[in-house]
């Protein structure tokens, strides 16, 4: 695509420009810094020309192609936002089911187009709210949901057959999805029409997010059994959301975020294929890969973030096609949700966060995200207030309806700088993936603690850059104001706890105890048998009246518990 004669001409003109135009200016006015670096640490040139792409052997058809076609660099769908806007999906949930139901209805009333459930820590860690370790945490960072009774209240007057729901749930994903399915079925909505996502990504819990229960091996079986079950039973449901967001939040560089996420994806695919050999199905990646989905962070560093999304998309397509022999287009598509980077929110001058999140959201949209959560400006201080969340939704609506950025596909495609960055990040991420491959894949790497230590190292290095002033943050190390203002904050009413616990006790009293015991015994039995899928017995246990904590305890008895190696 590059005419050598024309490139020579550019080179010649460039040299001329440097001598005649640039040099005299540099003598008079030196640049702000000796070196300009991206967050990944790539040295940035003054500007980019076709020469920078030509020398990398870059060509349009193999690196970019067209939207909705391999390698999907420009986007996963042929019409992107011209056909369907991204889903406005704010992560929410707190207190008991009643508060959460009210918040969901509020979000929908102001223009949110999909739900995203936040569960409290006891629910995520398989503890009922009356467990001694759970007590202080009930309803704090999400909604408490130990039984289908809570799930039913959470979705009161919400059309489960029309709205898609994403659930941030991992170590107890099967229990929670079972509750959702049972509630829907009780309303006459069959599971195969339900649309949504379970996060179900346990590897990133071990590496960064820390809400794991069982050791890596049984945890991988749990996760992959759910992927297989969803592929069979819930054709519109994303059975996993392979997450890079939490790596970024824990300190990962953009290349680490891509590499660890895709390495996790590779590991899940291999596991499902192996489980398929034992269980008889799935037989090929095309049986389940179309329902794998992804989740990334969007930071303020606009161009490198856009490059990150594009590089990840291109790499996953290659992995699925060339490594795993995928045939279906959909199996090669990296569809992803984005959340703006929580770690870049500042407690200082909190309203400034609105400006940051707007730019981050723009990065996600220019990067071709399928759904988006914009953090609220007050989240470095507390759970978001209603007013703050409303502004997050308004940010998305301004981007979608006022800026015109959604009117053409991949508008930064072909920009010399962005294409160069996309290539560079891809190269760097492949190096990390190679290293994980040499370690024997991500489960092995997790057991060794290596990815965890790598991310902690990146986090520390970043902090040192902030200390030295190499990273500048308005309100933190530049343009500092003396005090953190006292803004209105959201607090969870402690009465919530008693309400949830009372309802749980009533639930336990009313059920058929013998039936629950039998169901939990079945869970224990199947947990010991690798060849069987664990999902049906867990769902049956939920149906029989067993609580989330009881099912989790039964699995703990068989599988044991995990503690991550702590390297800092």
Partner 1 sequence: MVMSQLQQRRKFKVLVAKLGLDGHDRGAKVVARALRDAGLDVVYLGVHQTPDNVVRTAIEEDVDVIGISILSGSHIELVSDLMKKLKEHGLDIPVIVGGVIPPQDYDELKKLGVVEVMGPGTPLSKVVEVYTKLAEEYRRRKEKEGGAK
Residues at the site binding partner 1, with contacts judged by CB under 8 A: 121-122, 125, 127, 133-134, 136-137, 140-141, 205, 209-211, 249-251, 343, 345-348, 379-383, 456, 459-460, 463-464, 466-467, 473, 475-477, 484-486, 489, 491-492, 563-564, 566, 568
Q: In the bound complex, what is the minimum distance in angstroms from residue 350's beta carbon to partner 1? A: 10
Helices 535-544 + 513-528 axis angle, to 10: 170
Dihedral angle at the C-alpha atoms of 552, 555, 559, 563, nearest 10 degrees? 0
295, β-bridge pairs: 243, 337
Token reading at 451: 């990815």
CB of 563 to partner 1, least distance (A): 8
The answer to whether the beta carbons of residues 75 and 67 sit under 8 Å apart is: yes
- Using the minimum distance from each CB to partner 1, give the nearer residue, 87 or 124: 124
Of the pair 235, 449, the CB lying nearest partner 1 is at: 449
By the 8 A CB rule, do 378 and 384 touch?
A: yes
3-state SS of 238-254 is: ECEEEECHHHHHHCCCH
253 or 370, CB closer to partner 1?
253
Say how far residue 303 (Cα) sits from the centre of its chain. Answer: 20
| Nearer to partner 1 among residue 322 and residue 467 (C-beta) | 467
- Tokens 């560093």 locate to 301
Strand arrangement of the beta sheet that strand 336-340 belongs to: 87-88, 371-373, 336-340, 292-298, 240-243
- For 382, counting Cβ atoms within 10 Å of its Cβ (0-12 exposed, 13-18 middle, 19+ buried), the class is middle
CB nearer to partner 1: pick between 128 and 286 = 128
Residue 153, both tokens: 């209240």
Closer residue to partner 1 in complex, CB, 114/142: 142
Q: In angstroms, give the least distance from the CB of 376 to partner 1.
A: 13
Collect all residues with Cβ–Cβ distance below 8 Å to 105 and sequence separation of at least 6.
157, 158
3-state secondary structure of 198: strand
- Cβ proximity to partner 1: between 285 and 381 the closer is 381
Q: How far is the CB of 132 from partner 1 (least distance, A)?
A: 9
Considering the complex, what minimum distance in angstroms separates the CB of residue 455 from partner 1? 8
Q: Which is nearer to partner 1, 208 or 272 (CB)?
A: 208
10 Å CB burial of residue 449 (0-12, 13-18, 19+) is: middle
- Least distance (Å) between residue 227 CB and partner 1: 23
Shortest spacing between CB 410 and partner 1, in angstroms: 32
State in angstroms the smallest separation of the CB of 462 from partner 1: 9
């Amino acid at each position: 695509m590059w005419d050598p004669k024309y490139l020579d001409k550019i080179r010649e003109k460039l040299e001329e420009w440097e001598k005649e135009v640039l040099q005299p200016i540099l003598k008079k006015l030196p640049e702000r810094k000796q070196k300009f670096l991206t967050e990944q640490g790539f040295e940035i040139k003054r500007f980019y020309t076709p020469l920078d792409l030509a020398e990398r052997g870059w060509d349009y058809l193999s690196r970019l192609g067209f939207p909705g076609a391999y390698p999907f660099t420009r986007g996963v769908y042929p019409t992107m936002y011209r056909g369907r806007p991204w889903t406005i999906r704010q992560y929410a949930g707190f207190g008991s089911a009643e508060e959460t139901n009210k918040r969901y209805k509020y979000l929908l009333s102001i223009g949110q187009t999909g739900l995203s459930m936040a569960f409290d820590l006891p629910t995520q860690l398989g503890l009922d709210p009356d467990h001694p370790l759970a007590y202080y945490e009930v309803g704090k960072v999400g909604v408490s949901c130990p039984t289908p009774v809570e799930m039913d209240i959470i979705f009161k007057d919400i059309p489960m057959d029309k709205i898609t729901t994403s659930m941030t749930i991992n170590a107890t994903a099967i229990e929670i999805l079972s509750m959702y399915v049972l509630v829907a079925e009780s309303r006459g909505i069959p599971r195969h029409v339900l649309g949504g996502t379970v996060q179900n990504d346990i590897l990133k819990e071990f590496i960064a997010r820390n809400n794991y229960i069982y050791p890596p091996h049984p945890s991988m079986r749990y996760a992959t059994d759910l992927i297989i079950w969803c592929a069979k039973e819930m054709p519109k449901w994303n059975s996993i959301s392979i997450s890079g967001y939490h790596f970024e939040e824990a300190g990962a560089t953009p290349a680490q975020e891509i590499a660890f996420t895709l390495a996790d994806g590779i590991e899940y695919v291999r596991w499902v294929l192996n489980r398929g050999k034992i269980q008889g199905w799935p037989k090929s990646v095309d049986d389940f890969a179309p329902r794998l989905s992804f989740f990334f962070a969007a930071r303020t560093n606009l161009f490198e973030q856009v490059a990150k999304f594009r590089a990840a998309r291109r790499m996953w397509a290659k992995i699925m096609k060339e490594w795993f022999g995928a045939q279906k287009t959909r199996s090669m598509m990296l569809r992803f949700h984005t959340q703006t980077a929580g770690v870049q929110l500042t407690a200082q001058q909190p309203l400034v966060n609105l400006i940051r999140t707007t730019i981050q959201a723009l990065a996600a949209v220019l990067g071709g995200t399928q759904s988006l959560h914009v953090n609220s400006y007050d989240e470095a201080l507390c759970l978001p207030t209603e007013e703050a969340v409303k502004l997050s939704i308004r940010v998305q609506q301004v981007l979608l309806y006022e800026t015109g950025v959604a009117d053409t596909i991949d508008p930064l495609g072909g920009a010399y700088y962005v294409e160069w960055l996309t290539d560079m990040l891809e190269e760097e991420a492949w190096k990390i993936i190679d290293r994980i491959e040499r370690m024997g894949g991500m489960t092995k790497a997790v057991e060794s603690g290596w990815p965890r230590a790598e991310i902690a190292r990146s986090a520390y290095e970043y902090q040192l850059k902030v200390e030295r002033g190499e990273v500048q943050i308005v309100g933190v190390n530049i343009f500092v104001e003396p005090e953190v203002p006292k803004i209105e904050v959201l607090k969870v009413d402690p009465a919530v706890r008693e309400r949830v616990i009372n309802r749980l006790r009533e639930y336990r009293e009313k059920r058929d105890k013998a039936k629950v015991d039998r169901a939990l015994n079945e869970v224990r039995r199947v947990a010991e048998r690798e060849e069987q899928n664990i999902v049906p017995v867990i769902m049956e246990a939920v149906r029989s009246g067993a609580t989330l904590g009881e099912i989790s305890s039964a699995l703990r008895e068989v599988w044991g518990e995990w503690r991550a190696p702590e390297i800092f």
